[in-house]
Structure 1
Amino acid sequence: MAKKKLTIQEILNRKNSKDKIGMVTVYDYQMAKLVDESDCEMILVGDSLGMIVQGLDGTTHVNIEDMEYHLKCVRRGAPNTFIVADMSFMSYQASKEEAIRNAGKLMKLGADCVKMEGGLGIMDKIKAVTEVGIPVMAHIGLTPQTAAALGGFKLQGKNKETAERLVKEAVAAEEAGAFCVLVELVPAELNELIDKSVSIPVISTGSGPSAVGFNLNAYDMLGIFSDFKPKFVRQYAQLKQVIVDAFNAWNADIKSGSYPANDEAFHMKEEDLPKLD
């Protein structure tokens, strides 16, 4: 039996609940289909596809058209899973009107909400988007789109000043209308404080256990992406070597002449073959 898709209200009701949510980051139909067949309740179509799928060194080169394409693929694969769609770099920062227009595109293509990265400077955009009825998940802490300005892909909120700023950002996101806030790569103690400071649910990406939901990338979790392994990633499989071994085994069969075998080919009657001159 197909699982029942989460609603915004159900996510809100999970605040302070022991019924936690797993949110898996995926980008394509096949992986989304596997998540849809699992017990995981949320999918993030992340702009991290720039690194995982496109081989880029960050997310800033990903555009809204990339997000639209991958969102469509994922929605086709996961009709019964709540989907969060990232708004790509500069698809919402320039103006409220552009933010509304691009968020609307993603919702029309099957997103259940959009995710917007940034601090106090984008709260007016979050407010504008939520006021037209589009659900927004805010994203604070390490925000990959602006990682260069934050000193790189590093732990955020390590001192009192930056910790206070992040708490203010979470509160401001709730006041702007966000129904949820994703907190990425901050100390567990700070994330606990953030969780207590807002009445909306918190999703933790590498920010400790004080949250209603937790996010990992499928390619990290499955041991496929091997460029680096973040500390917070727990690998539940080691598929990279399994895949490489399968490629090598197939190639060896080709070299030896054992592939394709007779029963792996299609055949026709000899009398139906044309005669060679």
Structure 2
Amino acid sequence: MSTHAEIKRVTVPQLRACKGQRKIAALTAHNFSTARIIDEYLDFILIGDSTAMVAYGLPNTLSITLEQIAQHTAAVVRATKHACIVADMPFGTYQESLEQAFRNAAYLVSHGADAVKLEGGAVMAPTIEFLVARGIPVLAHVGLMPQYVNTMGGYLAQGKTPDAAARILGDAKAHEQAGAFGVVLEGVAEALGTEITEQLSIPTIGIGASVSCDGQILVTEDMLGLSGERVPKFVKRYANLEESMRSAVQRYADEVRASKFPEPQHCFAVKRS
């Protein structure tokens, strides 16, 4: 009989209980290898619609499909044991009706997601309430919303004027009242991020918001230096894995061409004198 203690995933209620107790650390993942490495250090992992850009090279998040997010979610679930798993709902999969939103959110849950994330202002509060009442936890997302890139005119910081700040604060409060367990604040003025965090009873997860937020999330490729030279202002690079990978691949290619790899220890049934 095994004596090892069972590793239990972080739950949505545990994430919510972090408010005022400790900070929440989160990153994105879209493949088995990355998720396996980052799992033990994080409270939740997001299968973001940013997968469209970092995994498929698409210009924005708008064209990734529900089926693609579901398959990436399943891969991340298989790789992990600890972190809560949150899946992004792609553009066009929840805005049409409450029934559409539930059907597609349930599809992501069936692939292993513990919760879903959706973008939008107060207009999405009824959708959040509908999903939560039917057993699907929801992480809201306000401020700079990549799925609204066309109406916002680009990836522009939000909440810089009193009216804009008041609107985003109202959005966050509406989502809290609707039953969201947390709110992602992206690309908002620092003072606004602090104010929303102070006024909500649920955790705020910052990405380009404020250090006062109850937690932080980044796109993993950005913080590891795997997304090219241009990164958002709010990203801190904790490594330069692109440089390391280039160096390793160059060494490999050089050794192959010089017949230095494989060596005898990398081969089978090598006769030795």
**1:5-42 deviation per Cα after TM superposition (whole angstroms, max 9, x unaligned):** 2222222221122x111101111001100012x32221
Larger Rg: 1
Give RMSD over aligned pairs: 1.5
Counterpart of 1:32 (choices 35, 43, 57) is: 35
Counterpart of 1:162 (choices 161, 164, 167) is: 164
Aligned to 1:273: none
CA distance in 1, matches of 2:115, 2:160: 30
Counterpart of 1:8 (choices 9, 12, 16) is: 12
| 8 Å CA contact retained: 1:118, 1:143 | yes
- Residue 55 (str. 1) matches residue 57 (str. 2): yes
Residues 1:2 and 1:34: Cα distance change in structure 2 (over 3 Å): farther
**1:117-174 deviation per Cα after TM superposition (whole angstroms, max 9, x unaligned):** 1112222211211111110000001111111211211111111111111001001101
Aligned to 1:275: none
Aligned to 1:178: 180
CA distance in 2, matches of 1:94, 1:238: 41
Aligned to 2:46: 44
SS of aligned partner of 1:230: coil
Aligned length: 267
- Residue 68 (str. 1) matches residue 70 (str. 2): yes
Runs of 4+ in 1 over 3 A off after TM superposition: 1-4
SS of aligned partner of 1:31: helix
CA distance in 1, matches of 2:268, 2:17: 56
Report the alpha carbon displacement of residue 4 of structure 1 after superposing the two structures with TM.
4.1
CA distance in 1, matches of 2:186, 2:38: 22
| 8 Å CA contact retained: 1:22, 1:41 | yes
| 8 Å CA contact retained: 1:2, 1:80 | no
**1:206-264 deviation per Cα after TM superposition (whole angstroms, max 9, x unaligned):** 10112211101111111111141212111111110100111111110111111222332
Unaligned runs of 5+ in 2: none
CA distance in 1, matches of 2:137, 2:159: 26
CA distance in 1, matches of 2:111, 2:230: 32
| 8 Å CA contact retained: 2:7, 2:81 | no
Over the matched positions of the two proteins, sequence identity in percent amounts to 36
CA distance in 1, matches of 2:63, 2:219: 19
Calculate the TM-score normalised by the size of structure 2.
0.94
Counterpart of 1:143 (choices 136, 142, 145) is: 145
Report the alpha carbon displacement of residue 193 of structure 1 after superposing the two structures with TM.
1.1
SS of aligned partner of 2:125: helix
CA distance in 2, matches of 1:54, 1:227: 18
Residues 1:52 and 1:227: Cα distance change in structure 2 (over 3 Å): farther
Unaligned runs of 5+ in 1: 270-277
CA distance in 2, matches of 1:91, 1:79: 28
Aligned to 1:22: 25
Residue type matched to 1:190 in 2? L
CA distance in 2, matches of 1:2, 1:147: 43
Aligned to 2:221: 219
- Equivalent residue runs for 1:187-206 within 5 Å: 187-206=189-208
Aligned to 2:254: 252
Aligned to 2:107: 105
CA distance in 1, matches of 2:52, 2:188: 23
